[in-house]
Amino acid sequence: MNRPQAIPTQQVSNERVIVTEWRFAPGAETGWHVHGHDYVVVPQTDGALLLETRQGNRDSQLQAGRSYAGLQGVEHNVVNATDHEVIFIEVEIR
């Protein structure tokens, strides 16, 4: 499947954190990746994400302002499963 790419904009990168804004058009994806750091996601919009993993797919509901955390080593592809733009801030802890 040929999907558009989500757009990352790095806002901060220093010895302690990496802060990236992610913008997903409808159907856009990050591409498969492995997280190199523990991270916190801060949704800026409501929406639904499809998380494709080697163990199977799952859905994740985003609520603006309701953060969640993930661990180093997580491998997945993140896809916007809504019909509107989804935006979140990702804070990676070095």
Chain-centre distance for alpha carbon 29: 9
CB 29 within 8 A of CB 69: no
Residues 30 and 22 sit within 8 Å (Cβ to Cβ): yes
List Cα–Cα distances, 88 to 54, 55, 80, in angstroms.
Answer: 23, 24, 11
pLDDT digits (tens, 9 = 90+) for 16-49: 999 999 999 999 999 999 999 999 999 999 999 9
Domains and CATH numbers, the chain: 7-93 (2.60.120.10)
Q: Is the pLDDT of residue 6 over 80?
A: yes
> What pLDDT score was predicted for residue 44?
98
Write down the pTM of the prediction.
0.95
